[in-house]
Chains A and B, each alone.
Chain A
Amino acid sequence: MKPRRFNMRSLILNTGSSLLLPLLVLFSLFLLLRGHDEPGGGFIGGLVAAAAVALKLFAEDYKAARDMLRVHPLQLVGIGLVLAAVASLPPLFVGESFFTAQWWSLDLPIFGELKLSTPLLFDIGVFLGVIGTVLTVVFTLAEAEHS
Chain B
Amino acid sequence: MDLEVLVALPIIIPLLLGALSLTVLSNHSAQRWLGAIGTALLLICSVWLLLHTREVGIQVLEVGSWPAPFGIVLVSDMLGAIMVVLASITGFATALYSLKTVRKRFERFGYYPLLHLLLAGVNGAFLTGDIFNLYVWFEVLLVASFALLILGGERAQMEGAIKYVTLNLLSSALFLTAIGLTYGLVGTLNMADIAVKMASLEDQKMVTVIASLFLIAFAIKAAAFPLFFWLPASYHTPQVAVSAIFAGLLTKVGVYALYRVFTLIFTADTGFTHEILLWIAIFTMLTGVLGAAAQFEVRRILSFHIISQIGYMILGLALFTPLALIGGVFYIMHHIIVKANLFLVAGLMYRLGGSFELKKLGGLYRNHPGLAVLFLIPALSLAGVPPLSGFFAKFILIKAGVEAGAWWAVGIALLVGLLTLFSMIKIWNEAFWKASPEPNPAVPAPTRNALLYWTIGLLAAMTVCIGLFAQPIYQMAEMAAAQLLNPAGYIEAVLGGTTP
Contact = CB atoms under 8 A, between A and B. Distances in A.
Given A95-B1, A98-B61, A81 B12 contact: no
A81 B65 contact: no
B23 interface: yes
Contacts of B15: 81, 85
B16 interface: yes
Interface residues of B, number: 24
Interface string A68-110: 0000101101111110111011011001111111000000000
B5 A77 contact: no
Contact of A98 (B5, B22, B25, B113): B5
B55 interface: no
A98 B4 contact: yes
Contacts, number: 61
Q: Does more than half of chain B's interface fall in helix, strand or loop, or is it mixed?
A: helix
Nearest to A91: B65
B4 A97 contact: yes
Interface in B1-58: 1-2, 4-5, 8, 12, 15-16, 18-26
Nearest to A132: B22
Nearest to B18: A81
Contacts of A98: 4-5, 8, 12, 61, 63-64
Interface size class of A (residues with CB under 8 A): 20 to 34
A78 B2 contact: no
B20 A78 contact: yes
B84 to A, nearest CB: 16
B110 interface: yes
B26 A85 contact: no
A131 to B, nearest CB: 14
A20 to B, nearest CB: 30
Given A81-B15, A85-B12, A100 B64 contact: yes
Contacts of B1: 95
Contacts of A77: 22
B119 to A, nearest CB: 14
A81 B63 contact: no
B437 to A, nearest CB: 44
A75 B64 CA distance: 28
B108 to A, nearest CB: 10
Contacts of B110: 74
Given A85-B15, A98-B8, A78 B61 contact: no
Nearest to B117: A81
A77 to B, nearest CB: 6
Contacts of A81: 15, 18-19, 22
Contacts of B22: 74-75, 77-78, 81
Given A74-B22, A75-B25, 16 more contacts: A72-B25, A72-B26, A78-B22, A78-B24, A81-B15, A81-B18, A84-B19, A86-B16, A89-B12, A95-B2, A97-B61, A97-B62, A97-B65, A98-B5, A98-B61, A99-B8
29 contacts: A72-B26, A74-B22, A74-B25, A75-B22, A77-B22, A78-B19, A78-B23, A78-B24, A78-B25, A78-B113, A79-B19, A79-B23, A81-B22, A82-B16, A82-B20, A82-B23, A85-B12, A85-B19, A86-B16, A88-B12, A89-B12, A96-B65, A97-B62, A97-B64, A98-B4, A98-B63, A99-B63, A99-B64, A101-B64
